[in-house]
Structures are given as C-alpha cells and as structure tokens.
Amino acid sequence: MKLKITVAYAQPSGEIVTDTVTTNLGTICAWEDKHGTSSKKLANDATLDDISFLFWHKLTKLGKENRPWEQFRDCLDELINVEAASVNPTEAAASDAS
C-alpha cells in the first residue's frame, strides 16, 4: 500500500508550508510499530491521526522534519489530499497479442 499525502503545516518560524510525500512499506511498518496492530486496521479504518503520522514519518525520513511527532502534530494546518499512489512497473505486461 502506497499513499500520496499532501498536508499544510507550520514551520517552527510559524510559516505555513505545503508538502507531499509518498509512503512506502517502511512507513507502514513504522505505523504498525507505533500502534501495535496490523496495517489491516489502517487500510479499513484510517483516522486523521493515522494519515498525519504517516506523513510526518515519511517527512522525517526525507530529512525535511526533525520535530518529535507530538510537537509536529500540534503544527498541522490542513489535510489537503490523500490518494493511492500510482504504481509504475519497470517491465511491460505480457500480452497475448503477437
């Protein structure tokens, strides 16, 4: 499961910025560790806190954020978009057409 998440949040200076991240398996595993549950719950019953955590975790891994989760959460301004990330296969699919 990959999600493309766009959020507006406040920088430490107070400036509101917008950023987009795409989650990966590591992001989902971090969410499972934090919540002590399977990603099935995330897939079926995601909350705003869940989505915001995924965004923050990926942002920190990209080196764009260094505040702890509890502090960053207080700076969230707006959830702009969440969508399934498109998959870009590296090889063409097999076809019966010859």
Over residues 27-84, the pLDDT tens digits come to 999 999 988 888 888 888 889 999 999 999 999 999 999 999 999 999 999 999 999 8
d(Cα 67, Cα 52) in Å, to the nearest integer? Answer: 14
Burial class (CB in 10 A: 0-12, 13-18, 19+), 98: exposed
pLDDT class for 98, splitting at 50, 70, 90?
very low
* 69/98 Cα distance (integer angstroms): 54
Instruction: Note the pTM of the prediction, 2 decimals.
Output: 0.83
